[in-house]
Structure 1
């Protein structure tokens, strides 16, 4: 195996993923919740895609954006979980040099994409509640497609320099990555090069995405809440708030773990390394699992169609 600390290579053919250093003996046990979350994410997200595809009444911007979120979650979790489980189950730690940067690109690209989709969903709810007469005029199918394309292009363009620059650096210190996936900072720390430019670019991306996007979302929901509380009756307020309650839950499930991971990296320098890795795993694994649960539980249209689907199957048995 090539997991040596020699310095006789600048482009290793493979990297070695250690999994969760310090918890190697518990890898099989840790794989159980990881595998469970991945299975729930796959089943839940494919179920939502199936329901939206089958029901013409759900072919509206709100559910188109939800389908974009579902696909993003599927790609995000699939980019890391299969390889992670092979590490935990079979001790298969090697990952090809090119494959490591491909994984890194998809992981960070779709994290940024998910943030952009939440911003688009917030805009959709703002138009539906604050300016309902123009909602269907502005958010046509072609406009929804353009917004989705813009979100993907933004994340692709922002992440591409990340990967292209990091891929050109010499990696002469070691090829061992103390993580269970190719996290950007874990990989670039292995480079025998000046990485300050990469760090500055990383901070600028984090600020532009994970500070600016939540700000836009917060402004949108401030206006939405003002519109809701201006309604005359309590029933109207509850019904209108119910249409965006699932979005708020999904947004919190995404940004709170992200923020927790950033804060622990910045202010938890004395914490053991496996704690940082476990915290990082939460913001990658939890949202893809929680989002379909949130939307099934809190969205009446999806819940009713899911119940109708199972009751229809039950009558056919």
Structure 2
């Protein structure tokens, strides 16, 4: 019998839905190890005491952080020892702060770690290793589990200490979705084979722009400009270009200027014109109650505004 169950990721591929400019905004991240099962609203229904949740939400909101539940691939025993938490900050470039929790109240150290003026009470350590997050939140969207778990397993085999399954990151129809921290780089439309290749290239400073949804630290318009710059003048690292000017145009578009990293073999300054469009309504997630329109961003002009730095990227 043919399976006629609707799958949003299959439908998005059939429609060829663009994913550029769809990275959910976040400048910091609070990761809380929690074995699950994760409810549709993972953090709110995690069983963590409401008072602790409220303090974590307040601290996260004040510092621009996003809260995600994470777990190691493979469904670890929920009764094992202390679980991890981490604060990852790619806005300031400081190392990630990691701690552990056994009782819910231990997580208040994570709230303190979100405040740069206050130090956690419990033992913590700093780490500069990347974090690889794979959305496998099946009760939020089935496609995230179906497509995400094989990707998480493949990445965990290659980078066991860095890889975590995570709760909803946005863009279910682009599953499998992978977020690389601390860069805040969102990748989508991955499978087990392409994910390993894309992550290897990212860690080597050679971003594959074909799979890049955007950088979570930038607004969608700038995300689109950065992806196009990486496509045209790469392969280079995710943070090779930074936004220095954003201007709304009279015709509804935007002019984005990006500065290139000195010595990276890219132009010192580039200008890109970005247009926004609305696609026809479609069912965008497996659990959606009906069709909805989606927004896309397209770069219609890209040009060099300054010279290219002399040291060409490898």
TM-score normalised per structure 1: 0.20
Greater relative contact order (CA < 8 Å, ≥ 6 in sequence): 1
Structure with the higher helix share, 1 or 2? 1
Structure with the higher strand share, 1 or 2? 2
TM-score normalised per structure 2: 0.20
- Larger Cα-atom Rg: 1
